[in-house]
Amino acid sequence: MKLGGQRNGDMSRRSVSPILSVIVAALVFLVPAYLLPGHQERRHVPAGHVPFPSAAAVAQDITDDLGRPFTRPGRAPERIVSMAPNVTEILFAIGLGGRVAGVTRFCDYPPEARRLPRIGGLVDPNIEIVRSLDPDLVIAFRGNPLRLVERIGKLGLPVFVLDIGAGLEDLPPLVARIGRITGTEARAGELAAELRDRIQAVDAALKGTASRPKVFVMLYGQGLWTCGGESYLDDVIARAGGTNVASALPKKWALYKRERIIRDDPDIVFILTRSTADFEAGRAWLAGMAGIGAVSAVRSGRVYGLDEDAASRFGPRLVDVLDRMAALLHPERFGGEP
Last residue of a domain, one of 173, 204, 235: 204
Q: Is residue 129 in a domain?
A: yes
Q: Are residue 179 and residue 244 in the same domain, yes or no?
A: no
CB 94 within 8 A of CB 182: yes
Q: Are residue 228 and residue 193 in the same domain, yes or no?
A: no
Q: Is residue 139 in a domain?
A: yes
Q: Are residue 112 and residue 189 in the same domain, yes or no?
A: yes
Q: Is residue 13 in a domain?
A: no
Q: Are residue 46 and residue 192 in the same domain, yes or no?
A: yes
Q: Is residue 12 in a domain?
A: no
What sign does the dihedral 93-98-104-110 (CA atoms) show? positive
Q: Are residue 194 and residue 219 in the same domain, yes or no?
A: no
The model carries a pTM of 0.83
Last residue of a domain, one of 204, 229, 251: 204
Beta bridge partners of 6: 3
Q: Are residue 198 and residue 226 in the same domain, yes or no?
A: no
DSSP 63: B
Secondary structure (3-state) at 276: helix
Q: Are residue 285 and residue 169 in the same domain, yes or no?
A: no
Q: Is residue 306 in a domain?
A: yes
Q: Is residue 150 in a domain?
A: yes
Q: Are residue 107 and residue 238 in the same domain, yes or no?
A: no
Q: Give the number of residues written for the chain.
A: 338
**Nearest by Cα to 184 from 84, 279, 60, 99:** 99
Burial class (CB in 10 A: 0-12, 13-18, 19+), 288: exposed
What average pLDDT values come out for the chain (338 residues) when binned by 10 residues?
A: 31 36 39 36 37 42 85 85 97 98 97 97 94 96 89 93 91 96 96 98 95 97 94 97 96 95 98 96 96 96 97 96 97 79
pLDDT at residue number 337 = 61
**Nearest by Cα to 240 from 190, 198, 281:** 198
Q: Which domain holds residue 260?
A: 209-333
DSSP 120: B
Beta bridge partners of 334: none
Q: Are residue 137 and residue 264 in the same domain, yes or no?
A: no
CATH code of residue 99: 3.40.50.1980
Last residue of a domain, one of 173, 189, 204: 204
Structural domains counted in the chain: 2
pLDDT at residue number 10 = 32
Q: Are residue 114 and residue 151 in the same domain, yes or no?
A: yes
Q: Are residue 175 and residue 301 in the same domain, yes or no?
A: no
CA angle 135, 138, 141 (to 5 degrees): 160
Q: Are residue 236 and residue 200 in the same domain, yes or no?
A: no
